[in-house]
Chain A
Amino acid sequence: MSVKRKGNSTVTIFPDWCKGCGICAAFCPAKVMELNDQGKAVVLREEECINCGFCELHCPDFAIMVRPKVNDEIPAVCRAVLEKAARKPKTAASDGAAEKAGSGKQKG
């Protein structure tokens, strides 16, 4: 049984797997998550989480994990997903913008 008490759980979001549908942010009873400017879910108020498990059950992309705070170890399978995301080079948004600015200068 899950213990419904505030501040006893950690919420992890795998940014690579999140498609930004907004179900977690819209239905979360404690408003723990919000969508950021890239349209992906981010955890803003983790201490408000009551461990109801709604987001974990309803995330269609398996991108949210809610665990009790005492058990801090992330399981191997999920860790692989997070590490893969961290290894990836900076996304096209920032690099692309820098390149464009650079090329513009050269032409000018």
Chain B
Amino acid sequence: MVDMKGTQLIHEYLRHNKKFPHVFCAGCGHGIVLGSLIRAIHGLGLKKDEVCVVAGIGCSGRLAAYVDFNTVHTTHGRALTFATGIKMAKPGMHVIVVMGDGDSMAIGGNHLIHAARRNIGVTALILNNNIYGMTGGQCSPTTPSGSFSMTTPLGQMEQSFDCVELCTAAKANYVARGTVFHVKKLDKMIMEGISNPGFGVVEILTPCHTQYGRKNKYKTPVDMYKMLKKDVIDIERYNKLSEADKAAKTPAGVFVQKDESGLEEKFYEMAARCQGGV
């Protein structure tokens, strides 16, 4: 399995007894994230048994069913709590949480900020498609202000969450934002997120043309990918822009990278100290 690459490699990690092609809409970015996750895990040289993928509810929740790792499909918004338990019980396991934007920032918003505050050593992939895709296109906390959805037919009036700033403020160890158009960078970010100690967050912008795009002038998947290509730029280039230009663009890249040890490391160190009778 060493010299494999591309699709051949991905097919090796899939559960072929599941029904393929997968359930995602044609052109949905979730499939690309799945491929990227597999390449990242293969790139780090992890064994299948060393990895645990935890998923919540939503379109992204289906992702865990297709990969041949230890997988848990959990309740809505509570994926991080299950992951915290798994990581505390088995600190050697690489726990990766796959959540959608509604899963992580609406119903599981508290779990996200407290997992970041605790600095538990799991990696959260937040698949942000700006909408509740599976349930019919209701607006989510990340639907941009002014855009349209099934429940905001005249335009969203509320402000939207910025996942990166939220996690940075909650003191996560690793915060990055990638897109499904810039796949090679995404591979690298997921690899860094997994290998970095402490809580890692990778926000991934994935397009949902079925629910979000058709209400917002991006009718085909290709339109949405072109939008990602045009509007998402690297953080260094973004910082050089004037304030007026910044409004139309979204920065991507690595925002925070710290080396503090995670909660599980501190806990087992403490346990060893107590048992040693110091």
Task: List chain A positions with a Cβ less than 8 A from chain B.
Answer: 16-23, 26-27, 53, 56-67, 75, 77-78, 80-81
Contact = CB atoms under 8 A, between A and B. Distances in A.
B27 A21 contact: yes
Contacts of A53: 6
B106 interface: no
Interface stretch (B17-25, B165-173, B250-258): B17-25
Contacts of B191: none
B220 interface: yes
B6, B22, B220 — which one has the most chain A CB atoms within 10 A of its CB?
A: B6
Nearest to B10: A62
A19 B22 CA distance: 10
B30 A60 contact: yes
A77 B21 contact: no
Interface in B29-56: 29-32, 35
Interface string B2-30: 00101110111010100011101111111
A78 B183 CA distance: 22
A61 B10 CA distance: 10
29 contacts: A16-B20, A18-B21, A19-B21, A19-B27, A21-B221, A22-B220, A22-B222, A23-B221, A23-B225, A53-B6, A57-B32, A58-B32, A58-B180, A59-B32, A59-B35, A60-B26, A60-B27, A60-B28, A60-B29, A61-B21, A61-B26, A62-B31, A65-B7, A65-B8, A66-B6, A75-B8, A78-B7, A80-B16, A81-B20
A19 B26 contact: yes
Contacts of B183: 57-58
B184 interface: yes
A61 B222 contact: no
Contacts of B31: 59-62
Contacts of A77: 8, 11-12, 16
Interface in B176-197: 180-181, 183-184
Interface string B205-234: 000000000000000111001000000000
A14 to B, nearest CB: 9
Contact of A64 (B7, B21, B221): B7
Given A17-B21, A19-B21, A60-B35, 15 more contacts: A18-B21, A19-B25, A20-B26, A22-B221, A23-B221, A23-B225, A57-B184, A58-B32, A59-B35, A60-B31, A62-B35, A65-B6, A66-B6, A67-B8, A75-B11
Contacts of A56: 6-7
Nearest to B226: A26
Nearest to A66: B6
B8 A78 contact: yes
Contacts of B180: 58
A81 B11 contact: yes
A22 B21 contact: no
Contacts of B10: 62
